Amino acid sequence: MKILFEDEFPLAPQTRRLLRIAQCGYLLLLVLIPTWILYLEPPQMGSQRLLLVMMWTPLWLPALGMLRGKAYTLAWANFIVMIYFLHALTNLWVGSPMMKAIAAVELIGASLMFYGCTYYARHRGRELGLKIPKLKDDPVRQD
């Protein structure tokens, strides 16, 4: 089983770079979240385990598609990364100085992932000839 489908459908250099950007942001978040919750700034109230499950589990949903470079997976992973945007922005607004520094790193990871996923899905879709049909071209839906 191949990890990436580059042999069958080679990636253009720009598309490969966008995939690497998305994967770097993803891996940064995947490492940062448990490190933050367990070691750097543990929660004062509530359960560490519950917070870890709530914050880390969504990142595992697109893991296989992120590693394989699936354009569809990277496209919907943008919905997941919004959780981390909001989390980082909230902590930048109300957090302690240490929490603000960690939140800035989280925001960088989320931004890298969002940028890479968005443009990788777009470029890869074009390379594979995939497109969303326009309403006027859809034979099923004629009003």
In the block, which residue shows the tokens 């519950």? 50
Distance CA 110, CA 26 (A): 7
pLDDT recorded at residue 43? 84
Q: Find tokens 């603000």 and name the residue.
A: 100
Residue type, 86: L
Q: Report pLDDT for 135.
A: 67
Nearest to 119 by CA among 48, 25, 29, 8: 25
Query: What pLDDT is recorded for position 6?
Result: 46
Query: pLDDT tens, position by position, for the chain (143 residues)?
Result: 344 444 467 889 999 999 999 999 999 999 999 999 999 988 888 788 899 999 999 999 999 999 999 999 999 999 999 999 999 999 999 999 999 999 999 999 999 999 999 999 999 988 888 776 666 666 666 55
Question: What gap in Å lies between CA 10 and CA 120, rounded to an integer?
Answer: 13
In this predicted structure, what is the pLDDT of residue 138?
62
Rounded to 5°, the CA angle 95-101-105 comes to: 115
Residue type, 17: R
What pTM, to 2 d.p., does this model score?
0.84
pLDDT at 131: 72
